[in-house]
Amino acid sequence: MDLDLRFRVVGVIAFLLSLGLTPMFRELGVRWGLTDKPGERKSHIRPVPFLGGAALFLAFMIPSLLVLRDDAPVAGILLPSTLIFAIGFVDDVRGLPAWFRLVGQLLASLLLIRHGIVIKIMPWYWLNVTITLVGVIGITNALNFLDNMDGLASGLVCMACMGFFFVAWLTGQRWLGIYAVALVGSCLGFLTFNVRPASIFMGDSGSTFLGFNIATLAVMGDWSQSRWIACCIPTVIMSILIFDTVLTTIMRVRTGKVSNLREWVDYAGQDHLSHRLVELGMEPGSAVLAIHLVGLSMSIVAVLLLGANLLVALGVIVMVVLFFANWFLLVKDIPGLDVVNEHIEGHTG
């Protein structure tokens, strides 16, 4: 598939829309009082609006709709994405209980499956459905949780979607590529206003919307004829999100901070990978950059896996696992983490 006009049009329109809509929603957030107020656990000294998710949503949806064709998976992607955004927006404005958010994410994931967007790596359909539900809901919340420092979440989505795009380009998957480049453009425009010190936050509407969509791209992609490589490529692209979720879950259960799924969803702590890197001596901006670089490296590794045989792929996966295992040992035990990091960032997960 050539890098034709559609990709450039979608990416440029998404970027320009995000660049124009983000300051507009920033002003609306200030006018309507929809702001994250300064506080004891916040780094910002003035209220910061959190309507950035609306700009991200529109910047993705509009160019995606402009290039639709009959073979586009419209209902399977755009409808559940809209549901996820709507739930997140209401949560930002009014607040919703954890069980309601989870039910909404489950319904959106079932919409994906209803329209044929389901993992196809196992011989049993019920197992593919189960993996799809757990994976999509897990990644949706993982990005929401990791949206805890300026520019971190939107930058990570850029890195992941660049990996998805190049895989799509090399394998001729048109719609996977178009949706990926639309996400890249919308995130790049938003990043202009979200880098430290951020003048706008994306809110839960933005982080859950982006998390749901990168999970959807991972599910809809046709990654390899080999079942194991097909499983490894999207997993490597999203490995930072998976690692952070595993890290925080293990440490919170081990320290007794969470004991069930509801507590896991509700817990808002500053014990994520980003916070741990800061406690080890990095500046917040440097910690964000380091995580972005790892995310970019994982996307490059995933693209290289396309042409690998099974033995080479297994070797690469072992190295990736060892990398994150070493990182886990480095950052897992930091005494007084929640107390020390109370003033780093306003949005926590």
Asked if the structure places residue 88 within a domain, the reply is: yes
Cα of 143 vs its chain's centroid, Å: 4
What is the pLDDT, as a whole number, of residue 341? 37
Helix (H, G, I), strand (E, B) or coil at 68: coil
Helix (H, G, I), strand (E, B) or coil at 49: strand
Task: State the pLDDT confidence band at 41, using cuts at 50, 70 and 90.
Answer: low
Asked if the structure places residue 63 within a domain, the reply is: yes
What is the pLDDT, as a whole number, of residue 346? 43
What is the pLDDT, as a whole number, of residue 73? 67
**Percentage with pLDDT > 90 across the chain:** 59
Model pTM score: 0.91
What is the pLDDT, as a whole number, of residue 144? 93
Asked if the structure places residue 347 within a domain, the reply is: no
Asked if the structure places residue 348 within a domain, the reply is: no
Kindly report which listed range (11-15, 156-160, 309-313) carries the lowest average pLDDT score.
309-313
142-160 per-position pLDDT tens digit: 999 999 899 999 999 999 9
Q: What's the mean pLDDT in 117-145?
A: 93
Asked if the structure places residue 298 within a domain, the reply is: yes
> Minimal CA–CA distance to 80: which of 268, 213, 245?
213
Task: State the pLDDT confidence band at 222, using cuts at 50, 70 and 90.
Answer: confident
- Total count of domains within the chain: 1
* For residue 52, pLDDT beyond 60: yes
Asked if the structure places residue 192 within a domain, the reply is: yes
Asked if the structure places residue 256 within a domain, the reply is: yes
Q: Concatenated DSSP letters for 212-268?
A: HHHHHHHHH----SSHHHHHHHHHHHTHHHHHHHHHHHHHHHHTTS--SHHHHHH--
CA-angle at 191, arms to 346 and 32, nearest 5°: 55
What is the pLDDT, as a whole number, of residue 40? 52
Phi, psi of 143 (to 5 degrees): -70, -35
What residue numbers bound the domain in which 151 lies?
Answer: 5-340
Task: State the pLDDT confidence band at 345, using cuts at 50, 70 and 90.
Answer: very low
Q: What's the mean pLDDT in 186-192?
A: 96
162-181 per-position pLDDT tens digit: 999 999 988 888 888 999 99
Please give the torsion angle defined by the CA atoms of residues 155, 232, 164 and 87, in that order, rounded to the nearest 10 degrees: -60
Task: State the pLDDT confidence band at 45, using cuts at 50, 70 and 90.
Answer: low
Asked if the structure places residue 151 within a domain, the reply is: yes
Task: State the pLDDT confidence band at 324, using cuts at 50, 70 and 90.
Answer: very high
* For residue 339, pLDDT beyond 70: no
Kindly report which listed range (19-28, 68-77, 238-247, 284-293) carries the lowest average pLDDT score.
68-77
Strands 48-49 and 35-36: antiparallel
Kindly report which listed range (112-121, 140-149, 274-283, 329-338) carries the lowest average pLDDT score.
329-338
Can you point out the beta strands (E) in 35-83?
35-36, 48-49
**Spatial contact of 278 and 344, defined as CB atoms under 8 Å apart:** yes
What is the pLDDT, as a whole number, of residue 340? 38
Comparing 102 with 262, which gets the higher pLDDT? Answer: 102
* For residue 320, pLDDT beyond 90: yes
What is the pLDDT, as a whole number, of residue 42? 53
Q: What is the mean pLDDT of the chain?
A: 87
What is the pLDDT, as a whole number, of residue 349? 41
